[in-house]
Amino acid sequence: MFPDTDVTNRPILQVSACIQIILQLLCFEQWQNREEADLEVTEEIMVSRAIRESTQSTSAPEVIDLSDADCLPESLNDVINHLKLNVTQETHEYNVRRDEVFSDMMREAKKRSFSPYKRVKTYFVGEQGNDTGGLTRELWCLFARHVQHNLCEGHENCKVIRHDASKLQEGVYRRVGVLMGVSLIQGGSGYPFFAPSTFSYLSGTDVCSILVGCDEIPDIEVKKTLQEIRSASDDNALQEIASNVCDVLISCGYTKPIALLKHEDIPTVIECVSLHSAILKVKAELDEIGKGLADAGVLQMLQKYPHFFRSLFVYEECVLTAEKMITLLEKRTFSENGSSQLVKEKTTYIHFCDLLEELEGGIEMEGERIVTLGDCLSFFTGAQRIPPTGFIQACTLNFSDSNVYPTASTCALILTLPTLYHNSYSCFKEKMLFAFCNHGGFGLC
């Protein structure tokens, strides 16, 4: 059938075909190994970079003496470090109950031994822990939360001070101002929930120059009134609306006769009502807070460098990312090269990086609890966000082969990861999330 084919060559052809198949399989296996090797190399690069960065030392910040007219600050840190020069070595211990932080701090601020220039030391009654910074950060977070939800009103991230004559007479607002000033100098993350108009007033802007946005008006009825006034199409429509809300206009200090109102008066009416609702109505309270900030030595700098302080008072979108968290933990303690423990630590570090990536989008737990990067940050720092001035010392990442759960020192800013689960990311993740949700305010120590 195949006269030109040498029958004796058929086995050779079959062997040749088998060799080609084997070579293809070997090439595929080499390609697959290369892909796995590339992944291992990438992880090895991450770990190597982490080890390299952990060995880099950080120097203490240089303090600029702003009392010298020729010296100008370049950042908020420069201003805060200058204010820290006024803090003495003498300490004042704040003995507070976690569920009564505000009232206990008001009590401390009324003591004769109290001074805004003394170094703050915090003791949470009934809890263990020696404060070297972490407890005080937690204290300021709880204090700021109370101010936001109990002394203010309005939108969550655009609050104005609430009018309260009794607290005004009791001197509460001035003491609040003092403690706000102390917190800004001694480890607090600020009060980034105030309306821009509130900050403008505290920073010394002339009241007639302050513009109040619609979102800064806390009273819903006043907002509706302004919407109606803004919708007036002509003089008659404006006069009719004004006659229906004349009580609001009069209470806000707008006294122009309704019959004389013109359509071009709408911007003036809106400015008057808005300014009264956000600033003038609570001017006495704001002035008392300003006096307290002055008592703490902060007001002068606030009014001199408002652009630096703005981030401490006005909300700015600042997304916490996995990359920022890794950068924050700049000191990483790994075991010596060649040790069996180092292999476990490297794998655990990769697990931690993967977990941070997941936490960026939030991880839902039972009971509709969403765990975020903020919970991780709070676990080892006591703060829900990175302060605008940063932390006063570098954060450290350690490893332990005996811990079942991660542990932390909020004072020393140390997070210790368990290496027991280096072979199982799911087990590592479970233990980490449990700790973030159940530490009660501080890391498990």
Token readout for 173 is 């607002």
Helix (H) or strand (E) holding 416: strand 414-418
DSSP label at residue 338:
T
Strands 407-409 and 414-418: antiparallel
Residue whose entry in the numeric block shows the structure tokens 């060995």:
55
User: Which among 133, 117, 132 has a CA at the least distance from the CA of 84?
Assistant: 117
To the query of whether residue 152 is one of the catalytic residues in this protein, the response is no
User: Which among 444, 163, 363, 184 has a CA at the least distance from the CA of 282?
Assistant: 163
Is residue 333 within 8 Å of residue 399, measured between CB atoms? yes
Instruction: Give Dmax (Cα) for the chain.
Output: 119
Spatial neighbors of 192 by CB under 8 A, at least 6 apart, are 157, 311, 312, 313, 314, 315, 316, 385
Tally Cβ neighbours within 10 Å of residue 153: 14
Q: Catalytic one among 141, 152, 158, 411?
A: 411
Tally Cβ neighbours within 10 Å of residue 18: 10
With DSSP H G I counted as helix, E B as strand and the rest as coil, what are the percentages for the chain, rounded to 5? 55, 10, 35
Cα distance between residue 359 and residue 51, in whole Å: 23
Q: What angle do CA 223, 177, 222 make, to 5 degrees?
A: 10
Token readout for 362 is 């939030």
Q: Which residues are catalytic?
A: 411
